[in-house]
Amino acid sequence: ADKFLDDLMEVYPAKVMKNRKKHVVVKEGAGQEIAANTRTVPGIITNRGCCYAGCKGVVIGPIVDMVHIVHGPVGCAYYAWGTRRNKGKAREGGQNFLNYCFTTDMQESDIVFGGEKKLKKAIEEAVELFQPKAISISATCPVGLIGDDIDAVAREMSEKTGVKILSFNCEGYKGVSQSAGHHIANNKLMKEVVGTNDSPVGKFSINLLGEYNIGGDEWEISRVLSKIGYNLVTTMTGNSTIDEIANAHKSDLNVVQCHRSINYIADMIEEKYGLNWLKGNFIGVENFSKTLRNIARYFGDEGLIARTEEVIAEEVAEIKDTLNSAKEKLNGKTAVLYVGGSRADHYQGLLREIGIETIVAGYEFGHRDDYEGRDVIPYIKLDADTRNIEEITVEKDEKNYSLRIPADKVDELKKEMPIADYEGLMKNMADGSLIIDDLNHYETEKIIEILKPEFFGSGIKDKYIVHKMGTYSKQMHSYDYAGPYAGFKGAANFAKDVEAGILTPAWSYLTPPWNKEPLLKGKVEGVEE
């Protein structure tokens, strides 16, 4: 493994090598540290996105009945529109704007003379044409640079139109990645939305946090939850509405899927309203079943516990042949998983269920706790980029605060399930496997050349490079426009898609570059190639 690391890094100048080595860990026992959530070395081709992508593209964008206005150049609006396939449906009598792309389409003259007027006009137009429940304004880089005051515009226009308007100062350059944008988005939802709708909720009510309905995942999860007898109050934010999010505090339990994008909100809801949160994993039969069992035991209701077992048995019977047959054909194959901040962990179980072992995994922008577990949170040093992102604090809401189950019962349960806890990606990986943070395109090529995995799960930015190397690559962000992959039926979909992807004869028709004569010869930092 050390030899592999030396080969991987030999091309880097000394300073870059020193930096990158901190972001790479060869798994060995427990307690290893990894550098994460720091600036990418300039010049390196990273897969990371920007703060605006995390705020508008990921967290705010999926709320179905809001008009989401991108204040900035049209390209930024287009990039965060629809392409992630976060799906949504209108509620009865409600609206759904997910198919629209709203932007102020900033031009050079707006950048010189200011864009506030144009933004006000866009809001007026949106209200007139659509009468939406609420509006979001997301700022892109130039807005911060020229100093448009989108908060003031939001206040003024909200008074004028009577429509709720949320403004997000999520300029792309803030923070080091999408993660900063999650924070900005969620902080505002916490401050201005959660807790503003006191509608009564049913028995056994839960919220799903950090689930964005990519490829319809949330629909498959909620199908199973309602079959068991739960009442889903809201999801943050896949297929959600503004009123449902506002009602979140009335629920009994938060189940957190993507720890990265929302764990701080789960903590705040607990502090303010008394709801516990449970880390779940909806991907893979074993993980999903375990999550369902934990939820049932949290409520401690015998009927729910029994019904959970019935539903699991019924659902597993339907899909087990598909999974087994994929496993027979794929057993022994290896995978690299490189996704944003949680899927590189969540998918390892499902891959194992179809016979594939993950030998390299990493996050674009996960923090140390997403790798090493929440125990390290008190020891994480905040750098200047992180300190730029607003931290909010909450206090107990005397009117709405209540413990859903007694504190000593929670302490008991904490011994058997991850309540307010997450053990991170590294713990479940085998010794000798590689964990790489902010993997770049050069390292991607080297990994494929040396380790020759059969499955490379990543995103659009590297997919086709990997294909040209004769290796199957699957987009784990958008699911290659397929899915759902969560829950039981999702696991079967994934098994079928991956089986077809790996076993297609196409890969053997491609000659990877290292089997061809080099087109160019050059010198890198004094090393003869």
CA count, 13 A, side-chain hemisphere, 101: 14
Say whether residue 459 binds ligand HCA (CB under 6 A).
yes
Rounded Cα–Cα distance for residues 130 and 114 (Å): 26
Closest to ligand HCA by CB, 404 vs 461, is 461
Say whether residue 460 binds ligand HCA (CB under 6 A).
yes
Element of type H or E holding 473: strand 472-475
Instruction: Using CB under 6 A, pick the residue from 260, 272, 368, 374 that binds ligand CFM.
Output: 260
Q: Report which residue's Cβ sits closest to ligand CFM.
A: 340
303 contact partners, CB below 8 Å, separation of at least 6:
229
CA 417-423-428 angle, to 5 degrees, is 105
Closest to ligand CFM by CB, 8 vs 466, is 466
Does 55 participate in catalysis according to the annotation? no
Beta pairing partners, 137: 69, 167
CA 354-358-360 angle, to 5 degrees, is 160
Provide the minimum distance between the beta carbon of 466 and ligand CFM in the complex, in angstroms, as a whole number.
Answer: 17
Structure token pair of residue 34: 């990894």
Say whether residue 216 binds ligand HCA (CB under 6 A).
no
Say whether residue 49 binds ligand HCA (CB under 6 A).
yes
Provide the minimum distance between the beta carbon of 62 and ligand CFM in the complex, in angstroms, as a whole number.
Answer: 9
Does 84 participate in catalysis according to the annotation? yes
**36, 51, 53, 495: the active-site residue:** 53
**10 Å Cβ neighbour count for 513?**
15
Say whether residue 342 binds ligand CFM (CB under 6 A).
yes
The stretch among 32-40, 210-218, 291-299, 515-523 that binds ligand CFM (CB under 6 A) is 210-218
Rounded Cα–Cα distance for residues 510 and 466 (Å): 11
Does 258 participate in catalysis according to the annotation? no
Does 367 participate in catalysis according to the annotation? no
Element of type H or E holding 139: strand 134-139
Helix (H, G, I), strand (E, B) or coil at 125: helix
**71, 182, 249, 346: the active-site residue:** 182
Say whether residue 258 binds ligand CFM (CB under 6 A).
yes
| Burial class for 401, CB neighbours closer than 10 Å (0-12, 13-18, 19+) | middle
Provide the minimum distance between the beta carbon of 264 and ligand CFM in the complex, in angstroms, as a whole number.
Answer: 13
- CA terminus-to-terminus distance, the chain: 23
**20, 23, 36, 50: the active-site residue:** 50
Instruction: Using CB under 6 A, pick the residue from 478, 480, 501, 512 that binds ligand HCA.
Output: 478
Helix (H, G, I), strand (E, B) or coil at 502: helix
Instruction: Using CB under 6 A, pick the residue from 140, 178, 213, 235 that binds ligand HCA.
Output: 178
Binding string, 50-89, against ligand HCA, x = CB under 6 A?
---x---x--------------------------x-----
Rounded Cα–Cα distance for residues 77 and 119 (Å): 14
What are the residue numbers of the active site? 50, 53, 84, 182
| Residues found near ligand HCA in the complex (CB under 6 A) | 47, 49, 53, 57, 84, 178, 340, 459-461, 475, 477-478
